[in-house]
A and B are shown apart, each in its own frame.
Chain A
Amino acid sequence: MAELTDRPFPPGSYPVVVVGSGPGALQVSYGLSRFGIDHAVLSADDAPGGMFRRWPFFQRMLSWTKPYAPVDHHDPAYERYDWNSLLADEPENQAIMPGLMDGASNFPSRPEMQRNLELFAERTGIRIRYGCRWTGTRREAAADGSDEFVLTTTDGEYRTPIAIFAVGVAEPSVPETPGIELATHYAGTRQAETYADRRVFIIGKQNSGFELASGLLQWARAITLASPSPAKLSVNTKSLVGVRARYVQPVEDHNLGGGVTILDAKIGQIRRLDDGGLEVMTLPSAGGDPIRFEVDEVIAATGFSAPLLDLPALGVTTFGMSRLPAVTPYWESAAVPGLYFAGTLSQAAGGLKKHGLPANSGAVHGARYNARVLTRQIAASRFGVAAAMDRPAIAPDALVDWMMAALVSGPALFHQRAYLARVASLDRSTGPRDEGLVPLAAFVDGTGSDGTGDAVAVTLEADGTGAIYPVVYTRRGSRLDETVVEPDPLLRYDTPAVRARLAELVKPAS
């Protein structure tokens, strides 16, 4: 019974409740602890890792970690090459992932990723109440008259004014296609060898569909991938939008007539045939006659949605096929203040989506910085933590150096291009101050933690051509100016020319 009595965070009242135990929840808990904020962490699982305890089905991450990189593992700039380690201030807790990899691939195996997360939790002392499933939410008046949330769980009720949900986008989602019950969702895919000599029809042409197609290439007799719109490939979008390069082998197979069929068509109906097989009727998007397939297996790689339970009934607006919550740039529900979202759910904040490119918030390498910004924001705005409100002074003659350092070695800007910016306020009376990381949309719209005074924001952006380049936003009075630094194909921005350009931008008005 020791494990039951040792479980932390019994039901009760807490200043903050975090739900989840994946990378998002771990990074949030670490950040809250760093600011000394008491909080409970609840998880339905029995160990850290979140969805990486189950997926991806074919075992390797889509996010790389490069043990050998141009910078030392404890240099913050190394985070640019390590997409999987969580962020810590203590050197011994940084860059955990590269130390666990066996050299077989730059993409960690799922067990390696799971171990990476477990080690982070162990070493940083994160405590989690495992086996405690969040089952519902309601809002009630607290004793002091303010609103608080009551989270019902399998262990009892938790009361809190601030709930942070890092529950992933992991609820299998299926379309309303007639006969869809005859299909297996991606989440229910069997071991690859059980598909030997089978005709497999995969609904969906995103990463999960192509991951299955890639993994089944050497087993299946025939593979078809179908959905209404054409597949996007990341090598064409020059971004993380689209099917990642690791999974494009079926595309080449299709193009060379190797037996894979990739079709732009709506799935009209799935029906069981007398011989035990399945009939899939498809309606080509380009028009024309329906195309009929006879297959042995149908797999719905139709994505996942956010398991928000009853939060929509509480007023949380959701959107899109993933049922993401509508949030502010600081990941707070736009409709229900006090409810925050972290981890892969932080992709719900779209940001400026410059050139149509989303932030990398849906992946660990982007969401980990969001968690850092979120916890600082909560610590400052809800708890008045001095360390979170600290705005270190920047010597006026060091401002350009500060901007250069942010651009060249700031991994948050590199991974969260056009979503996060490093901001310095430029109050004439107090001199430049480091305002830290601010969501760019909040800076541009004057809703950021830096306020609305004169300030400069530096960020990195991309435009879908493969270029990555600095952009500087200067706010003076009500005027906002945007300056794009000429892209350099080798990303050389630590140059006298860039320095001179930045210096010109922050030169005090004469």
Chain B
Amino acid sequence: MATSEEIVDQIAGFALFADLSTPQLERVAHTFEEQVYAEGERVLRQNLSGGSAFNVILDGSATVVIDGEERATLARGDFFGEVSILLGQPPVADVVATQEMRCLVLAGHLVQPFLLDNPPVMYRMLQAQARRLRQANRWRS
């Protein structure tokens, strides 16, 4: 269990929150909930409706699995779950913790107001999505 102050210290180093001031980071720490997932626990479930939440990994790691095939790994500072929330559709992948994983979690319906209140986070998220898109295009070509 991390205190609010420790969470602020941790997320201050994450690219997603790099542009936020300390009071803004403190508000993030109060708005998101901390959650721990056990090794092997499914965090997102492919095709299951209503189960999406936005997760930012504080510690630990996870794998992204589509139709049983591992497609990517996620680690500290990475985030997931936002695509299905933004599109209003069930997740297209499972996300499974590969070791005990500690996340900051924001319920799906709170993501839009959070991003609108924090444009720098939205911009950083867009950057990350652009990188993923570029990566996917390279993989296909």
Contact = CB atoms under 8 A, between A and B. Distances in A.
A287 B24 CA distance: 8
Contact of B30 (A227, A350, A418, A484): A227
B36 interface: yes
Given A266-B26, A285-B27, A320-B34, A482 B49 contact: yes
A320 B23 contact: no
B48 interface: yes
A353 interface: yes
A353 B108 CA distance: 10
Q: Most chain-B Cβ atoms within 10 A of its Cβ — which of A227, A228, A323? A: A228
Interface in A423-456: 444-445
A106 interface: no
Given A176-B3, A352-B48, A461-B50, A283 B30 contact: no
B42 interface: yes
A141 interface: no
Interface in A471-490: 480, 482, 484
B126 to A, nearest CB: 23
Contact of A353 (B27, B34, B102, B107): B107
Interface in B1-51: 1, 3-5, 21, 23-24, 26-27, 30-31, 33-38, 41-42, 45, 47-51
B100 A335 contact: yes
B50 A317 contact: no
Contacts of B51: 352-354
A464 B109 contact: yes
A444 B45 contact: yes
Q: Most chain-B Cβ atoms within 10 A of its Cβ — which of A287, A321, A335? A: A321
A334 B38 contact: yes
Interface in A297-353: 312, 317-321, 323, 326, 328, 334-335, 350, 352-353
B31 A319 contact: no
Contacts of A283: 23
B93 interface: no
A194 interface: no
Interface residues of B, number: 32
Nearest to B58: A319
Interface string A373-409: 0000000000000000000000000000000000000
Contact of B1 (A323, A353, A355, A445): A323
A100 to B, nearest CB: 36
A356 B27 contact: no
B1 A229 contact: no
Interface in B88-141: 100, 102, 107-110
Nearest to A318: B1
Nearest to A237: B109
Contacts of A312: 1
Nearest to A418: B50
B23 A287 contact: yes
Given A335-B38, A444-B48, A355 B30 contact: no
A176 B3 CA distance: 9
Contacts of B49: 354, 482, 484
15 contacts: A175-B4, A176-B3, A176-B5, A228-B23, A228-B27, A229-B30, A285-B27, A312-B1, A320-B33, A320-B34, A326-B37, A353-B107, A355-B107, A356-B109, A444-B48
Interface of A: 175-176, 227-229, 266, 283-285, 287, 312, 317-321, 323, 326, 328, 334-335, 350, 352-357, 418, 444-445, 461, 463-464, 480, 482, 484
Which 4 A-B pairs have CB atoms at the shortest separation, nearest pair first? A356-B107, A334-B38, A354-B50, A326-B36
